[in-house]
A and B are shown apart, each in its own frame.
Chain A
Amino acid sequence: MSEKTYRPGNYPDLPPPPGTVGVYGWIRQNLFSSISNSLLTIISVLLLYYLIDGIIGWFFLDAVFDADSKIACRKINDGACWAVITRRVGQFVYGFYPEAERWRIDITFLTMFVAFAPLLYPDIPKRKWLLYFSVFYPFFAFVLIMGGYFGLQKIEYSLFGGFMLTVILGVCGIVCSLPLGILLALGRQSNLTVVRTLSVCFIEFMRGVPLITLLFVASSMLNYFLPPGTNFSILVRVIIMFTFFSAAYIAEVIRGGIQAIPKGQYEAADALGMSYWQKTRFITLPQALKISIPGIVNTFIGLYKDTTLVVVIGLLDPLGIGRAALADTKWNGLSTETYLFVALFFFVSCFAMSRYSLWLENKLNTDKK
């Protein structure tokens, strides 16, 4: 090959040095760039190998999916005994809701996505019509789940349980706590001393005590504070406590958002002669809420996870169902399988929520353009 000559300024681009491109280059740069890095890679690979090997073996290959009891499971194979789940999957999902009426829960759950869609995805087609449904949905869900109207059989609260109870508690808590949280955040920033002091006391009290003590109050003491003879369902009391608790956290998140708004925004609003509520509605909240989305969703995820605490006051959420299953002598000792199953459910729903918040954050981020 003869050497070509080029005029100055007309040299062709040289290919990148070998070892920096392609699969090999990527591996070299990302996994083996230095001695310590290579060591870390080798340790990670070993860790992954043992983990995956153990997990696949225990979870699937050696697992038993149907048997009459733990002992029967162990006779078949020595992996996980998923029979404890498969035999009670109805309870894990619906609690003790009557089997013949479970279609009502299915419909409520499926239509929930339709009701939430226009709120969660602002670009959805026919949003206005869907929004009417969203407003109507709570009544629809209440009637369908509780029954007692339109010839539907009335179902007692005490039969609620399983993942259904988690979703009910979580969704009610989330929906109620956002408005209350916004009000508390505004109250904390208010010029009125009395309103501010009240908000601060409420927020600090709720944030300072563990949720479980509040649930104890809801289950055993709340009746003392109400007129003699009043009695309302433990489910409602628990939802109220969850709402108060997470509203206090949301208030703090939104306060952070309000404080992050540049002062010029308020001054401009004042200069335009806006009233307090106009300012709040058009200037403060749109900006503050946008900044605080990640924090708000994190609080929601926290609330959703905290619904498991109701097991301590005797409600039958998935953990309660799981513990009841484990108390059965047939399934005694299969705690790992039971709790991992419930954990998987929570992981999927919470992970979905956090992905949604990331998506929304990116969508609303106007800085990029």
Chain B
Amino acid sequence: MTFFSNIWRNEKSREIIVQIIVLFFLGWFISWLVMNVNANFEALGKDISFEFLFIPAGYDINQYLIDYDSRDSHLRAGIVGLLNTGLVAFFGIILATLLGIALGIIRLSKNWLASKIAYWYVEFTRNVPILLHILLWHGIIINTLPHPRKAISLGEVTFLSNRGFYIPKPLAESGIELVYLFLVVAIIFSILFAKYCKKKQDLTGIQYPVFWINFSVIFFLPLIAFFLSGMPVSLEIPALKGFNFRGGMHMSPELAALTFALGIYTAAFIAEIVRAGILAIDNGQREAAESIGLKPSKVMNLVILPQARRVIIPPLTSQYLNLTKNSSLAIAIGYMDLVATLGGISLNQTGREMETMLIVMLIYLSVSLSISALMNWYNSKVKLVGR
């Protein structure tokens, strides 16, 4: 008896015993699950196989970035869905970032009224579920925008209607290569120039307006090339044919609603992150920078923002991840993203719940794990080295 009580009282051996017990129960639990799945599948005459991925999907997807029709396989339908998820995440992230940063800064501004408006925007937006945002925007576009025949026209080139938004599509013509070439040259030049200026500043302390010079080079050089080569871009303007518009770029009501909703919702969170990040910087930093005579813009760009960035970027990335995961709610309004294609219609048609959900979950999981790994690396890189 003493032998066992000694083992239990020894910290090391107790840890090992506890872990063995936990492992045993885990193994028992997993085998229980597997047995249940086997029994259930046998009763239903099902098996697990991924062959369904290669049979024709047989359903249409109204929006695709790569060629797709209903004779293509489920796998391809899934990829189309994945790309659609990426598309809406991309637009949503751009909108959320711009709006969020603007709101965060307005919230900190000395203007009482503007800061209050930003505050109430944030409170109203983030306290309402994202699904409600999506449905609300979808409803507004579908129910309150006019029919294509009476579409709201912005300068006769862009049209807003309840079938979606139509914007002119730029078409490249021959001679566009020159513009691309100039763009590449301009980018290479600006990288080299920035390096040169950095070196010069380190050596002599002289500063050049690097940003403005590089900005004008990148902007104007391709523009000159554009005019030199005889304006090789034409716009395909959407035109009303029959009941709907033809030509131009089409943004479906679902994509538009999803982009607005995700962007506007996430912007409220980003605004708070930006605000907290700027507030996290000790006031002494600002005062010190002002006392050595830096202009307000320099105080912001050289002192506050570089430090705030360290605080802001990790939660910002997790907001981007949230936005991407929230885009899976697209299924509620019929936008064909990954969950709606592979996890929705493919699942219903083939009856392979296990396999499709496994694939969908693994895709989301690998995206978010790889991004958090990236963030951990970034965190350890920018972490303040403490004593």
Enumerate chain A interface residues (CB-CB to B < 8 A). 30-31, 33, 37, 40-41, 43-45, 47-48, 191-195, 198, 204-205, 207-213, 216-217, 220-221, 223-228, 301, 305-306, 308-309, 311-312, 319, 323, 333-336, 339-340, 342-343, 346-347, 350-351, 354
Contact = CB atoms under 8 A, between A and B. Distances in A.
Given A213-B364, A339-B139, A33 B110 contact: yes
B127 A301 contact: yes
B15 A213 contact: no
B103 to A, nearest CB: 13
A305 B129 contact: yes
Contact of B111 (A44, A194, A207, A209): A44
A336 B136 contact: yes
Nearest to A333: B143
A313 B240 CA distance: 39
B365 A347 contact: no
B354 A37 contact: no
Contact of A311 (B127, B325, B332, B343): B332
B331 A312 contact: yes
B139 A347 contact: no
Contacts of B15: 191-192
Interface string B117-155: 100000110011111100110111011100000000000
A311 B364 contact: no
Nearest to A212: B328
B36 A226 contact: yes
Contact of A346 (B110, B128, B139, B332): B128
B112 interface: yes
Contacts of B130: 305
B369 A336 contact: no
Contacts, number: 158
A64 B144 CA distance: 18
A308 to B, nearest CB: 4
B117 A47 contact: yes
B36 A228 contact: yes
B136 A212 contact: no
Interface in B294-338: 325-326, 328-329, 331-332
Residue of B33, B144, B332 with most partner-chain A CB within 10 A = B332
B86 to A, nearest CB: 15
Contacts of B188: none
A31 B112 contact: yes
Residue of B132, B325, B347 with most partner-chain A CB within 10 A = B132
A350 B268 CA distance: 15
B357 interface: yes
B19 A192 contact: yes
A34 B328 CA distance: 45
